[in-house]
Amino acid sequence: MFSKILIANRGEIALRIIRTCRELGIATVAVHTTVDQDAMHARLADETVCIGPPRGPGNRESYLNDAAIISAALVTGAEAIHPGYGFLSENAEFAEHVAEQGITFIGPSAEHIRIMGDKRRAKETMLALGVPCVPGSGESLDSLDNAMALAGELGYPVFIKASAGGGGRGMKLANSEAEFESAFLSGQQEALAAFGNPEVYLEKYLDNGRHIEIQVFGDGKGNAVHFGERDCSLQRRQQKLLEEAPSPVLSDTVRETICTLSARTAAQLGYAGAGTIEFLYQDNSMYFIEMNTRLQVEHPVTELVYGIDLVEEQLRIAAGLPLSRKQADIKAGGHAIEVRINAESVPQFLPQPGRVALYHAPGGPGVRVDSALYSGYTIPSNYDSMIGKILVSGKDRATCTARMRRALSELIIHPNRTNVPLFMRLLETDEFTSSTYNTRWLEQWVETWQD
């Protein structure tokens, strides 16, 4: 096992990794910007390195500056780098540069990151392995005329998606031919701005789909296991807001089929580390949409249901150790729900940075809080608005729902505005209680709010 690692991230995920490392006796190095010098991950790590100001598009001078991060690892003697999620976590060139310096990248190979980062290539790879995919173009489209012709063949609505995309960026929905040109050109522009690659492809839009993702782990030697599924269907603008496991809509037969297929696929790829294979589920059928080659924001949902530390498992695999469990030994227990706490107003969804005068985290049976907040901390305007996650676990979904209401009622982040009111309303809806919603429902429901 490693003796020291550098964490190339910030906020709650950096703190999450530090906690596992501390339990394992692994020293940690935190990188931070001038804005983050008082952040909790910088306070709790064993060593810190300032990597610059939070300037440049997408923090290119700091958390996206691979040279600065690798230099910090070399200077501090870190043996490995954990990228967390976001930033450089799915950057194949970064993974290669890390390896070139004799440092271990805690994640899959650069080649697997590259394949799955190109959504068109990922789809081709999965089809070749027998994984069902959403009908759409088999290649990137740069001609508006060709794209429009294909959209007509697929039938509206259709999704325009960035080939190098993720996180909902570069993704546009065209409900009709009249909307297509604007959506196509806008998708290309957004893809270029976000990923430096304007290539887009088309997919048939499944209008009543659920977002189901399977947590897999591979050892890079042809062995892989799964840790069940998460249901991430409650989204706004393709951004997940509430995740849970197990999915309340899957039958045991469908669950076993798709989870087994996902683990087999990871094994056939020779995949190493944590990965999430994501599907749209509609009419008892699963369709592959993408694979994330990193730890997910919602990974604690799986940890609570399966009683495993997924960060520890990542460290084991990166250190060359075998998978800690065989599939027959992996058993689910109970239910878990996570909500993402964002510093934003609702229903306007405008960011709300600023100083937190008073912070109090909920507690009690079955409650977990992953956050880097503390009283006196100033939420910066330079980063994503997510400031934490509240998770609950219990014997069943009804227990978790009641527990989440209690946890949210105990949370104090004063005087800052957050999206807690959204969840308090959401948990009371008939649609949530009966789990009769799709990936578009939440966004449509928010538009009906009456203040």
Strands of the 200-204 sheet, one edge to the other: 172-174, 158-162, 200-204
Q: Are 234 and 247 in contact (CB under 8 A)?
A: no
The separation between the first and the last C-alpha atoms of the chain, rounded to the nearest angstrom, is: 54
Task: Judge whether 355 counts as a catalytic residue.
Answer: no
Three-state DSSP at 279 gives strand
Instruction: Please give the Cα distance from 258 to 229 (Å, whole number).
Output: 9
- State the Cα angle at 435 between 402 and 304, rounded to 5°: 55
Q: Which of 16, 114, 230, 294 is catalytic?
A: 294
Q: Report CA dihedral (408, 414, 418, 419) to the nearest 10 degrees.
A: 20
Tokens of 302: 């799986």
Three-state DSSP at 74 gives helix
Strand partners, 288: 133, 279
Give the DSSP per-residue string, 109-172.
-HHHHHHHHSHHHHHHHHHHTT--B-SB-SS-B--HHHHHHHHHHH-SSEEEEETT-BTTBT-E
Instruction: Please give the Cα distance from 298 to 320 (Å, whole number).
Output: 25
Question: Could you give the residue numbers annotated as active site?
Answer: 294
